[in-house]
Structure 1
């Protein structure tokens, strides 16, 4: 995966910060409250473990998605990813909530996972937090689905896993802020103006993704046309060279025929001259 894609995944996670606060901030705060403030190291370990488990699940889902995406048309998947990014941006900007309907599709799986996550609460140690994070990574989330659509087109299991890992890293600031009850940052992220800005930037990313598909298709068609033109020109040059070679060969053989004709004419002349002489002698007798 290129550096550009690593950055894109991180930025996507960062742009979704306002959404992450709403989706995961609550469970993060529950982790923080579950362990007393006197056990500072244990509290930090719990938060780290939870996020490690969440990122592990994101990477796992990304790898699976990329493996399945290898059997589909990359251009179509990129268009779908772009559309989802636009819908996510409009959702963040509070312009359209179409993506919430897509989120509901994931509830079919979450219905079976949620009881397992509930059984781990309240979290008492980092090991429980790790398992909770691994389960929470499957929470129905439009932002995660948008990133997964991008992971689909990475072309390899490792590429898809890496994309989702870096996306998860981009979500860390918001999720950790919610976990440590950073009310100031949380309030800033929930401001309407900032949500509108982040949402529009995410929608722009989606539009750029779709534009890239058509731009690549245009370049491919241009290259194919140029290749066809070059092939036609090469064929025409080859035919012209053959014609020129044939003409030169004809010019070389033509003088030999003329010389042969001249020699035959010269050889025939004495016989033609001698015949009238013989006739003349016979007439004299």
Structure 2
């Protein structure tokens, strides 16, 4: 786990926030604009967001543990993560909608959880908003699935969980602003140039991830050969010296 990985996950969440406005903005807006108890708006918004990010961290830890077992070599997984980021960029800009099928697959789980979410509305306490956020963290979302692939590539439960928490923090500004100023925020982030700019930056990050994975794999192979040569050379010299002595 490096700062670079966490910064990358934060960037994915932030750049993909235009997508979050459509997927989670309505929920956040409902919490922010109509708290049933009449309590402070921000208390419910933070409860919702904290629950959502905790779910992201849990799912990240699960996929990280899975990745550590099934794929000891992380190179291919990092390439897959880069490809998913590129596909997400195309999805954000509405250039290609292929990731919709992933969201449809996740809808199977969501159909079972959705009734639990309805039972928590209207929200009357911070605890309710926290639980609602934890449930909504399972909402089928192409952006979350792309981030999960990036987390999977870390190949460790703790590192993958931390990666998804960083991703969730990246989405926080857009979701909180949507709750506080739903109409104005949605109008701005849905502008074509904003979505296209986010998509291009995400596209570049995906390409950089693939390039970094390829370079890392090559470096690892070379270092392994060099290490073998360096270890074998002294042994040969020692053997030669030993025979010469006798």
TM-score (norm 2): 0.90
Provide the alpha-carbon RMSD of the alignment: 2.2
* Alignment partners' CA distance in 2, 1:202 and 1:46: 30
> Unmatched 5+ residue regions in structure 2?
none
TM-score (norm 1): 0.78
Q: How does 1:154-165 map to 2 (within 5 A)?
A: 154-165=154-165
* Alignment partners' CA distance in 2, 1:129 and 1:103: 24
2:171 equivalent in structure 1: 171
Rg (Cα) greater in structure:
1
* Alignment partners' CA distance in 2, 1:108 and 1:19: 21
1:204 equivalent in structure 2: 204
Preserved contact between residue 51 and residue 133 of structure 1 (Cα < 8 Å): yes
Q: Deviations over 1:160-200 (max 9, x none)?
A: 22111111111011111111124333322111111111111
Q: How does 1:96-111 map to 2 (within 5 A)?
A: 96-111=96-111
Structure 1 residue matching 2:165: 3-state secondary structure: helix
Q: Deviations over 1:234-270 (max 9, x none)?
A: 5665576578x48xx8xxxxxxxxxxxxxxxxxxxxx
* Alignment partners' CA distance in 2, 1:171 and 1:181: 16
Preserved contact between residue 79 and residue 214 of structure 2 (Cα < 8 Å): no
1:53 matched to 2:51 = yes
Preserved contact between residue 103 and residue 140 of structure 2 (Cα < 8 Å): yes
2:68 equivalent in structure 1: 70
* Alignment partners' CA distance in 2, 1:92 and 1:2: 27
Q: 1:29 to 1:182 in 2, by over 3 A?
A: closer
Preserved contact between residue 55 and residue 137 of structure 2 (Cα < 8 Å): yes
2:17 equivalent in structure 1: 17
2:86 equivalent in structure 1: 86
* Alignment partners' CA distance in 1, 2:238 and 2:58: 56
Q: Deviations over 1:72-121 (max 9, x none)?
A: 22222212211111110111121111111111111111110111112222
* Alignment partners' CA distance in 2, 1:227 and 1:28: 54
* Alignment partners' CA distance in 2, 1:214 and 1:204: 15
* Alignment partners' CA distance in 2, 1:132 and 1:225: 53
Preserved contact between residue 34 and residue 124 of structure 1 (Cα < 8 Å): no
* Alignment partners' CA distance in 1, 2:98 and 2:167: 22
